[in-house]
């Protein structure tokens, strides 16, 4: 006899079956207290829609068919915070030699270990606009994770996308432009997974600010007790055209896992929101991999399972509580049928298929590091201090190879030259170099002196939080410049004290060039630095940077400003100062910081990076503010600006930026000519149709006859706070009978309709058909070889469309006076809008304009795609 016992459900709406609901709110815009439509059942992964997944699913099905219920639960639930060695680890299946899966930060290198590489931040690789470098960085990271024994690298990041220029974690991702971020995601994922590690696209979705991402994290603000995480409220069109876009690219690139986020989306938590997990991710985007929760973003047992969550991380409800929404509670929920068996099978299939897809059966090595200590020996179980106290927990394996060369290359290629009066740069053998600013030097406490880089001391080469990696060393700008200056026989005087203004005046007066290093930092909300709770409080330079520049430029008419920042800063105070002869944005370069900036300053590398965001004159120009102070128990972030963030917002409101998106100078110059738009005459759009197979039957149903088989084995050692799959001690499968809270349709196993916009990983394959082939000629009009990021923008032509949106780019290397062809294939998705009524992408009948140029505001070439009668078969 099976009856129902329900584990806490906090679903917001539980009424409709799997059907498409276009609520007025969804079509009309983002409203406070907007709700999230229910979507059930949770799509079952099959691997049928993509050849790359088919074989992995076959193997996964065969493996899972051998598993007991307890073993399946072990795949889905973490062992608890700091219980094992990785930041997250699942249970294991010793009977079949299947080790506990190791999930480890970060998107820029292996976190919390040694002999690893600290790669450049996402924002810097974005600034290269170089697909090859994006892939190479991903591959190199994948190798390092793999060789440390990691199964899942917790990155890359497309959420935050960058709604707010001051959002704390923007730098972990790529850019507020969805196309640039989408390409960054796809290339990084392919790299990581080709190296044999599962990538994780995070944080899904609308995790745009740190304040209130976890309701409790910041407690009371202005007297309002915050009870729940902030809700990002969004309309359906903005979701598709902006925030979901790069996740579609991630899924299309074959990403194995997706991390759901802390925040709520339309007032339903990210890890139990059936609209974003079941509908958008698993159905429309056809995601065959698994969804894991952010650490502590899991809020319900049955509810999250039915809404599409596949893995609970780190497994415990509150860290080290010893309790879990899943673990033994999931075992119970399956036994009493609250969670159908096909759903837990589906979780297991998805996890194991991702594992096979990237070849973990061949590439896995033992976990050879410990996130919680760098000592060689330590307790087997860190949190409980149990097991062998002298276990070898760190083998200090050097996984770096020659990745330092790649780091240096990415960082110099991702450096953006913003101003260069009279070719001040590259430096021409200056006799006396003044190096000014703490951002040029060491952190007195050492490069890893602040946990998770949570301070702003010394040169800034990564932000702070879980998105970091320990430095194996950090080449400071002062070191690298000094090395070159020694070869050149120059004099160097460095002052790292930003308050020593008088001394600075005296030194820069003697200098042939003053190199002023300034910074602006941000990070994850669990660390507050200088009053910044993850998110930046403003866009000004840190440590008195503005005053530093002014002091130097007032005393030296050859002042060069180098900025290490997580995003845009306000430069209005000095950008037009004639004594500031050059400005360089060096982003977050990672461990080779000094070498990469010296390569640019001395002209060993001709700069070709472009800004992956807009530099405004004031914060207000960017639009929506971060919610720093809560006004309600559940803070409501209404994304009322729609698709207008970053350059789209500036362009719409005709606001002049200081430097626009896509802008960046070179030591040479380029010209654009000869735009050609060729209609490739693709076939008509074929909306998805038909139905899926029914839910697969479970091959080894769990029996509820003998409950003792699910209880903690007599006499077995029990590690404190460890999460096990065994039934809770007081559990009874007959404890309740509450079907009312089960969302309608959640248990439906019948074939489900294939969505018009769905059908394969990344959505309907015909969205990626090429409709137009665009070419243009780019000429290097100067005397030295240079690299130019040619860019293609489109105006979709509708009254609600941004003036231009980026749709293609290529980084071209061109010899002196040479020419090359820039080519972009425009796909159907590139030319379409999301139609909220049809629930599909539609290429409108409006004429579209294609622009090619060197930035979002320097669009040298223009052509038209004539208005066409829509031939879509809808």
> Which residues form the interface with ligand BGC (CB under 6 A)?
87, 105, 154, 202, 294-295, 466
* Least spacing, CB of residue 519 vs ligand BGC, in Å: 23
Active site residues: 294
* Least spacing, CB of residue 466 vs ligand BGC, in Å: 4
- Tell me how many helices (H) and strands (E) the chain has: 20, 31
- Whether omega before 739 lies within 30 degrees of 0, making that bond cis, reads no
Whether residue 371 contacts residue 85, with contact meaning beta carbons closer than 8 Å, is answered with yes
DSSP 90-148: B--BGGGTBPPPEEE--TTS--S-SS---PPPHHHHHHHT-HHHHHHHHHHHHHHHHHH
Whether residue 625 contacts residue 499, with contact meaning beta carbons closer than 8 Å, is answered with no
DSSP 797-834: --TTS-S-EEEEEEEEEE-TT-EEEEEEEEEHHHH-EE
SS3 of 332-388? HHHHCCCCCHHHHHHHHHHHHHHHHHCCHHHHCCCCCCCCCCCCCEECCECCCCECC
The CB-side HSE value for 186 (13 A sphere, CA atoms) comes to 18
* Least spacing, CB of residue 157 vs ligand BGC, in Å: 8
Of 256, 268, 343, the residue nearest 300 (C-alpha): 268
- Measured from the Cβ of residue 440, the count of other Cβ atoms closer than 10 Å reads 28
Give the residue with the Cβ less far from ligand BGC, 37 or 465. Answer: 465
* Least spacing, CB of residue 316 vs ligand BGC, in Å: 13
Give the residue with the Cβ less far from ligand BGC, 153 or 764. Answer: 153
* Least spacing, CB of residue 317 vs ligand BGC, in Å: 15
Helix axes 69-76, 341-357, angle to 10 degrees: 60
* Least spacing, CB of residue 293 vs ligand BGC, in Å: 10
In degrees rounded to 5, what are phi and psi of residue 407? -60, -45
Whether residue 168 contacts residue 535, with contact meaning beta carbons closer than 8 Å, is answered with yes
Whether residue 518 contacts residue 439, with contact meaning beta carbons closer than 8 Å, is answered with yes
- Whether omega before 314 lies within 30 degrees of 0, making that bond cis, reads yes
Which residues face 204 on adjacent strands?
260
- Measured from the Cβ of residue 674, the count of other Cβ atoms closer than 10 Å reads 14
* Least spacing, CB of residue 593 vs ligand BGC, in Å: 23
* Least spacing, CB of residue 42 vs ligand BGC, in Å: 23
Which residues face 844 on adjacent strands?
none
- C-alpha–C-alpha distance, residues 23 and 20, integer Å: 9
Helix axes 341-357, 51-64, angle to 10 degrees: 120
* Least spacing, CB of residue 155 vs ligand BGC, in Å: 8
CA distances from 763 to 246, 288, 343, 393 (A): 12, 12, 22, 43
Of 120, 107, 130, the residue nearest 664 (C-alpha): 130
Whether residue 181 contacts residue 165, with contact meaning beta carbons closer than 8 Å, is answered with no
In this structure, the strands spanning 224-225 and 220-221 are: antiparallel
Whether residue 213 contacts residue 295, with contact meaning beta carbons closer than 8 Å, is answered with no
The distance from CA 432 to its chain's CA centroid, rounded to whole angstroms, is 42
Give the residue with the Cβ less far from ligand BGC, 105 or 835. Answer: 105
DSSP 8-state symbol, 523? B
Tokens in use for 451?
A: 């946990």
Helix (H, G, I), strand (E, B) or coil at 249: helix
Helix (H, G, I), strand (E, B) or coil at 788: strand
Whether residue 447 contacts residue 473, with contact meaning beta carbons closer than 8 Å, is answered with yes
Of 252, 83, 88, the residue nearest 154 (C-alpha): 88
Give the residue with the Cβ less far from ligand BGC, 154 or 843. Answer: 154
Tokens in use for 798?
A: 């509708």
Which residues face 777 on adjacent strands?
673, 821
* Least spacing, CB of residue 544 vs ligand BGC, in Å: 31
* Least spacing, CB of residue 262 vs ligand BGC, in Å: 7
* Least spacing, CB of residue 202 vs ligand BGC, in Å: 6
* Least spacing, CB of residue 140 vs ligand BGC, in Å: 20
- C-alpha–C-alpha distance, residues 610 and 414, integer Å: 7
Give the residue with the Cβ less far from ligand BGC, 181 or 553. Answer: 181
Q: Which residues have CB under 8 Å from 487's CB, separation 6+?
A: none
Burial of 597 (0-12, 13-18, 19+ CB in 10 A): buried
């Amino acid at each position: 006899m099976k009856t129902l016992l329900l584990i806490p459900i906090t679903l917001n709406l539980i009424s409709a079956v799997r059907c498409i609901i276009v609520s007025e709110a969804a079509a009309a815009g983002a409203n406070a207290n907007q709700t999230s439509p229910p979507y059930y059942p949770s799509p079952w992964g099959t691997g049928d829609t993509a050849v790359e997944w088919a074989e992995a699913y076959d193997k996964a099905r065969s493996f899972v068919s051998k598993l007991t219920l307890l073993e399946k639960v072990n795949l889905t639930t973490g062992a608890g915070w700091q219980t094992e060695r990785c930041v997250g680890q699942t249970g294991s299946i010793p009977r079949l030699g299947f080790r506990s899966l190791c999930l480890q930060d970060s998107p820029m290198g292996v976190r919390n270990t040694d002999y690893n590489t600290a790669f450049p931040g996402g924002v810097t690789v974005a600034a290269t606009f170089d697909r090859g470098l994006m892939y190479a960085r991903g591959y190199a990271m994948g190798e390092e994770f793999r060789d440390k024994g990691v199964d899942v690298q917790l990155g890359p990041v497309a959420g935050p996308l960058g709604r707010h220029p001051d959002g704390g974690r923007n730098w972990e991702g790529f850019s507020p432009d969805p196309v640039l971020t989408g390409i960054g995601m796809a290339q990084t994922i392919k790299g990581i997974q080709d190296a044999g590690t599962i990538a994780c696209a995070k944080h899904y979705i609308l995790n745009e600010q740190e304040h209130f991402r976890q309701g409790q994290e910041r407690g009371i603000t202005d007297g309002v007790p915050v009870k729940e995480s902030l809700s990002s409220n969004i309309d359906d069109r903005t979701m598709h055209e902006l925030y979901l876009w790069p996740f579609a690219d991630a899924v299309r690139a074959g990403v194995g896992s997706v991390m759901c986020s802390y925040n709520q989306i339309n007032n339903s938590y990210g890890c139990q929101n059936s609209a974003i997990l079941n509908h958008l991710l698993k159905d429309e985007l056809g995601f065959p991999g698994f969804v894991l929760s952010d650490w502590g973003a899991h809020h319900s047992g049955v509810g999250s399972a039915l809404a599409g969550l596949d893995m609970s991380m780190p497994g415990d409800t509150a860290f080290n509580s010893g309790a879990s929404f899943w673990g033994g509670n999931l075992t119970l929920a399956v036994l009493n049928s609250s969670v159908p068996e096909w759903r837990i099978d589906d979780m297991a299939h998805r996890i194991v298929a991702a594992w096979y897809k990237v070849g973990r059966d061949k590439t896995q090595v033992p976990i050879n590091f410990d996130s919680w200590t760098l000592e060689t020996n330590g307790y087997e179980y860190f949190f409980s201090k149990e097991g062998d106290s002298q276990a070898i927990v760190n083998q200090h394996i050097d996984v770096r190879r020659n990745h330092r060369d790649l780091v240096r290359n990415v960082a110099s290629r991702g450096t953006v030259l913003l101003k260069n009066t009279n070719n001040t740069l590259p430096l021409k053998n200056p006799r006396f170099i003044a190096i000014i600013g703490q951002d040029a030097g060491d952190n007195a406490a050492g490069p890893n002196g602040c946990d998770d880089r949570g301070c702003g001391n010394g040169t800034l080469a990564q932000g702070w939080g879980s998105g970091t990696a320990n430095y194996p060393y950090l080449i400071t700008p002062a070191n690298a410049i000094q090395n070159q200056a020694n070869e050149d026989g120059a004099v160097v005087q460095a002052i790292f004290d930003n308050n020593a203004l008088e001394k600075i005046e005296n030194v820069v007066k003697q200098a042939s060039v003053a190199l002023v290093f300034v910074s602006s930092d941000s990070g994850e909300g669990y660390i507050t630095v200088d009053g910044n709770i993850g998110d930046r409080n403003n866009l000004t330079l840190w440590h008195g940077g503005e005053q530093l520049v002014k002091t130097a430029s007032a005393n030296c008419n050859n002042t060069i400003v180098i900025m290490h920042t997580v995003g845009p800063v306000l430069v209005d105070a000095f950008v037009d100062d004639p004594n500031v002869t050059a400005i360089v944005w060096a982003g977050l370069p990672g461990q080779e910081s000094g070498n990469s900036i010296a390569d640019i300053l001395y002209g060993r590398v001709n700069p070709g990076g472009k800004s992956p965001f807009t530099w405004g004159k004031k914060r207000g120009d960017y639009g929506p503010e971060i919610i720093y102070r809560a006004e309600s128990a559940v803070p409501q972030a209404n994304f009322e600006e729609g698709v207008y963030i970053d350059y789209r917002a500036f362009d719409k409101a005709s606001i002049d930026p200081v430097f626009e998106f896509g802008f960046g100078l070179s030591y040479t110059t380029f010209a654009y000519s000869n735009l050609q738009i060729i209609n490739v005459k693709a076939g008509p759009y074929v909306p998805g149709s038909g139905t899926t197979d029914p839910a697969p039957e479970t091959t080894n149903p769990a029996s509820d006859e003998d409950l003792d088989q699910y209880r903690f084995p007599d006499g077995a050692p029990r590690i404190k706070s460890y999460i096990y799959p065994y039934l809770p001690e007081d559990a009874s499968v007959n404890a309740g009978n509450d079907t009312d809270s089960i969302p309608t349709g959640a248990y439906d196993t019948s074939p489900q309709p294939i969505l018009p916009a769905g059908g394969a990983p990344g959505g309907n394959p015909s969205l990626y058909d090429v409709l137009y082939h665009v070419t243009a000629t780019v000429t290097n009009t100067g005397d030295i070889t240079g690299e130019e990021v040619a860019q293609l923008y489109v105006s979709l032509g509708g009254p609600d469309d941004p003036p231009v949106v980026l749709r293609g780019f290529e980084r071209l290397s061109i010899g002196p006076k040479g020419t090359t062809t820039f080519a972009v294939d425009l796909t159907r998705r590139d030319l379409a809008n999301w139609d909220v009524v049809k629930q599909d992408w539609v290429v409108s009948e409006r004429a579209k304009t294609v622009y090619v140029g060197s930035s979002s505001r320097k669009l040298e070439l223009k052509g038209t795609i004539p208005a066409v009668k829509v031939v879509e078969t809808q």
